A and B are shown apart, each in its own frame.
Chain A
Amino acid sequence: MALLTVRNIETYYGPIMAIRGVSLEVNDGGIVTVLGANGAGKTTVLKTVCGAMDPRKGTVDLDGRDITGLDPNRVAQLGVGHVPEGREVFPFLTVEENLVVGAFSRKRADFSDDLEMVYGYFPALADRRRQPAGFLSGGEQQMLAIGRALMLRPRLMLLDEPSLGLAPTLAREIAGIVARLRSEQRMAILLVEQNARMALDISDYGYVMETGRIVMEDTCERLQNATDIQEFYLGMKDRGVRGRRRWKQRKTWR
């Protein structure tokens, strides 16, 4: 049975419908990616899953339990770690304090092992554990955000654009760690990415979103070979530069 089941959710920003009937599944131990352009609603899906936004329709189930509309801290306690877009570390807290906050929902357990585990994945953080997170570089902040989510010992990790703003080598490093996390920590991952190439490389299954809808889903191998995906998301489209065919009066039935 799927670990996470999202059924037909509709979420609004005020009066604006940001996602319109999205359904998806993440299996235990699987990596599932959601692709799409900026503003297609990918982040909104993650926010709805983790409870930061309430869907007006539809349900979110975690391991058979309905978690729709729970507060995000409750969802986190149930084992969903969230690495938000733009990293969102606590800038005035030190690296270690950031990680301690990450373990907040776990009852007074000894988390020094977990700290060591995080520092093992990200040795760069160990060197800077006493520094305020605001002074870290973008890549280090991304590592810290992932590490902070790991402190929850999550069963499902929501990863929002982990490669955003990172140099390509760093992005590849992060991708490698994500792949390792799945096998070593046996957690499922729901990955939202613009860097489709990287996402498709490490994921099992992919969904493609456009303006709040899922327009395509398939295994990643098949997605990688689909012409639409190649054109729009992998930048392989062979398009004429200028002088495309067009009518002066464009279509107006929108």
Chain B
Amino acid sequence: MDSDQAALFEARNLSLSFGGVRAVRDVSFEIRRGEVFSIIGPNGAGKTTVFNLINRIYDADEGTMRFNGTEMSRVPGHRVAELGITRTFQNTELFDRATVLDNLLIGRHVHRRTNIVAEFLFLPTVRRQEIAFRSYAERIIDLLELQGSRDQMVGALPYGTRKIVEIARALCAEPELLLLDEPSSGLNPEETEDLSFWIEDISADLGVTIAMVEHDMNLVTAVSNRVMAMADGAAITTGTPAEVQDHPEVLRAYLGD
């Protein structure tokens, strides 16, 4: 990727404190269209907090965020998905008492065009919409190979599958930017390797830009175009995986030696 490619998402000088502790300090970065962008750093470095800021769960104390040229620092949380950003959560936040299919269909919620009156009567428009939603969800099910668990309750699925279901749900919204919060945690090395293929497929087949917070350096190196390293709430450096891994400060803060 060449460096002057347009930024899909741009954060400038984000800062956030919780009761005196500065969780994020003056962080700026951009995510370019089509790339896989990773954020690495020790636990507590503020990586997930950055995601929560993008996702508008938290209000930044300072700084701005632009997505597709739209200023989004004050957009309400539920509009973020409409703008085209969806995410997964560190410990998965699925709808446990619903089936995998229903979870994916909720992913389609932003594309809802029917109103409640039509839904009460289940008018043909609603039926057509349901079938359209379903066929899109099936596309994602095929892509991520979830056919076997389609009708199972999410709460009863193994952890690894739940992680994949969450990615699938986020994809069902047809996002432009997908945020993955520690996608490999809880997966074994083999599943992690599969995950790296899926991330490549999502990027290549669906054209979705991906930003992820990740610990597993192998995964980060394998799939990322660019990496940002964080420590103590601040961004240390941004660059290619190789550059970042060799950065002396990163070595000191993250790898420990």
Contacts and interface: CB of A to CB of B under 8 A. Distances in A.
Contacts of B197: 246, 250
A171 interface: yes
Contact of A241 (B155, B192, B242): B242
B182 interface: yes
Interface string A10-38: 00001111000000000000000000011
Interface residues of B, number: 35
A39 B256 contact: no
A224 interface: no
B68 interface: no
Contacts of A164: 43
B189 A37 contact: yes
Interface of A: 14-17, 37-40, 138, 164-168, 171-172, 194-195, 197-198, 210-211, 232, 235, 237, 239, 241-242, 244, 246, 250, 252, 254
Interface in B219-257: 221-222, 232, 241-242, 252-253, 255-257
A235 B255 contact: yes
Given A138-B44, A210-B189, A14 B222 contact: no
B215 interface: yes
Contact of B159 (A39, A165, A171, A195): A39
Contacts of B159: 16, 39
B50 to A, nearest CB: 16
A210 B192 CA distance: 12
Interface in B191-212: 191-192, 194, 197
B186 interface: yes
Given A165-B44, A197-B256, A211-B191, 20 more contacts: A14-B155, A16-B158, A37-B184, A37-B185, A37-B188, A40-B186, A138-B44, A165-B42, A168-B42, A194-B215, A195-B256, A210-B188, A235-B217, A237-B218, A241-B222, A241-B242, A242-B222, A244-B222, A252-B145, A254-B194
A39 B157 CA distance: 15
A40 B157 CA distance: 16
A239 B189 contact: no
Contacts of A17: 158
Contacts of B222: 239, 241-242, 244
Contacts of B241: 241
Contacts of A194: 215
A195 B43 CA distance: 12
Nearest to A213: B188
Interface in B136-195: 145, 155-160, 182, 184-189, 191-192, 194
Contacts of B157: 16
A198 B194 CA distance: 29
A171 B256 contact: yes
A40 B242 CA distance: 28
A172 B252 CA distance: 13
B61 interface: no
B216 interface: yes
A39 B185 contact: yes
B255 A14 contact: no
B164 to A, nearest CB: 11
A211 B186 CA distance: 8
Contact of B156 (A15, A38, A211, A235): A15
Contacts of B256: 168, 171-172, 195, 197-198
Contacts of B217: 235
Given A38-B182, A165-B42, A241 B189 contact: no
Contacts of A252: 145
Nearest to B216: A37
A138 B217 CA distance: 24
Contacts of B242: 241
Nearest to B160: A211
Contacts of A172: 256
A91 B118 CA distance: 51
